[in-house]
Amino acid sequence: MSLYRDTGVVLRVQKLGEADRIVTLLTRRHGKIRAVAKGVRRTRSRWGARLEPFNHVDVQCHTGRTLDVITQAQTVDAFGAGLISDYARYTAGCAVLETADRIVAEEGEPALRVYLLLVGAIRALAGRERDPSLVLDAFLLRAMTHAGWAPAINDCARCAAPGPHPAFNIAAGGAVCPRCRPPGSITPSRETFTLLDALLHGDWATADAAAPVTRRDTSGIVAAHLQWHLERQLRSLPLVERRTFTPAAESGTRSVGQEPVRADGRG
């Protein structure tokens, strides 16, 4: 029997039999793993609640024939407690978990960069210090960079001509110059390109200053770009509530400009 220990974030859980669960985690050293947690659905289970989505845990597993088995689990960060009572943060968090699960396709392959991005995004959402929509879009952009799908923002995606350029085409890979511009390209505002660049490079002062319409348009581009490369729609993304983050919003009062919009950018 081969034992190993690692820290990871619970991405999803599935029922198995009458009392067990299959837990999918993204871990620091072993990448994505699926392991059985035996007996955790029983009411007397002492550590079943630790293996819930969003939780950052330290687990010990032993290697099985088809699925590994979790023998111990200790909570490192209970991020779920800061998310489940806030719909906008919870749905953004679900989109973060699902994206990490899709981007890291192979089990057992180390994905340290995505793991660190995931922990940082969930911590930021649970900490309630930043707009959940901005945190989500920053995570999506940076995760796509790891996968090799990052959109071109300044230089032309086709000929690498230095920008800025006025048009954006998802199939072409991002910003395109007038010579390379394919039919059907869109023309985002310059502020949208600025916000994309700020989110990709962690310029939070610029991101926080962006207007609601710019955030909405940026979210639509990021969601469309991700789903084009995944070749499928994320189930959680259409449920994300896009609204302007303000202290009033965090206290439960919705102010002007906080109407929910769809994740594809349409109201």
- Give the total number of structural domains in the chain: 2
The CATH number covering residue 50 comes to 2.40.50.140
Residue 113: inside a domain: no
The parent domain of residue 170 ranges over 130-239
Residue 105: inside a domain: no
Residues 143 and 228 both lie in one domain: yes
Query: Given the DSSP bridges, would you call strands 56-62 and 3-16 parallel, antiparallel or unpaired?
Result: antiparallel
Residue 252: inside a domain: no
Domain final position from 54, 79, 104 = 79
Residues 235 and 138 both lie in one domain: yes
Model confidence at 199: pLDDT above 70: yes
Residue 149: inside a domain: yes
**pTM of the predicted structure, to 2 decimals:** 0.85
Confidence of residue 244 (pLDDT cuts 50, 70, 90): low
Residues 136 and 231 both lie in one domain: yes
Residues 137 and 223 both lie in one domain: yes
Residue 22: inside a domain: yes
Output the average pLDDT for the chain: 85
Residue 94: inside a domain: no
Residue 100: inside a domain: no
pLDDT of residue 251: 42
Model confidence at 78: pLDDT above 60: yes
DSSP, residue by residue, the chain: --EEEEEEEEEEEEEETTTEEEEEEEETTTEEEEEEETTTTSTT-SSGGGSSTT-EEEEEEE--SSSEEEEEEEEEE-GGGGTTT-HHHHHHHHHHHHHHHHH--SBT---HHHHHHHHHHHHHHHHT-S-HHHHHHHHHHHHHHHHT-PPBSSS-TTT---S--SEEETTTTEEE-TTTPPTT-B---HHHHHHHHHHHHT-HHHHHT--HHHHHHHHHHHHHHHHHHHTS--SSGGG--B----HHHHTT---TT---B-TTS--
Residue 124: inside a domain: no
